[in-house]
Amino acid sequence: MVSVASITHGSSRKTNVDSPSRPFLDGTDEMTKPLKQSNSSYNAQRFAKHANSLLYGVVNAIRAIPTMYGYAVIIFSHHAFADFMPALSKLVIFSSAVHQVMFTLMSTMPFAIGQVQDAGLIFLSAMATSICNSLGDDVSPEAKVATTI
């Protein structure tokens, strides 16, 4: 069906889009199909949707976890962090997981992933190194880590 849509300033153009109110008037639209489907079909579709989401999550985790270890090495590149790198790497992974879960749950976009970006790593690394350098050599490495975190 070709309809005329007014976009701006009273100008009209032909589009291949149905009227937005048409599905509400017909009653035989795509929105009422889930109500007409059987329960087993609906449950199968729900299961497939959740399985697909879980698969995407696993693939994203496989791709993202090694990246987080690299981010931890970049952020904590000062020699004072060398003995604490396993714990600091776990901290980066944990904070990334919290960021990802909150972004995914709070986003209005259904395709949101919430992967931590590398743009801020330069600043985080500079801040961590600056803190360690400003504390000097007379401060213990534990105090440097605690101050940086």
| pLDDT tens profile 78-131 | 999 999 999 999 999 999 889 888 888 888 887 777 777 788 899 999 999 999
CA distances from 105 to 47, 62, 95 (A): 19, 20, 15
How many separate domains does the chain show? 1
122 in any annotated domain:
yes
Range(s) of the domain holding residue 70:
24-148
User: Residue 107's pLDDT is what?
Assistant: 85
Give the alpha-carbon dihedral of 102, 107, 113, 115, to 10 degrees: -60
Q: What pTM was computed for the model? A: 0.64
Task: Please check whether residue 144 is in contact with residue 135, taking contact to mean a CB–CB distance below 8 angstroms.
Answer: yes
17 in any annotated domain:
no
70 in any annotated domain:
yes
128 in any annotated domain:
yes
104 in any annotated domain:
yes
12 in any annotated domain:
no
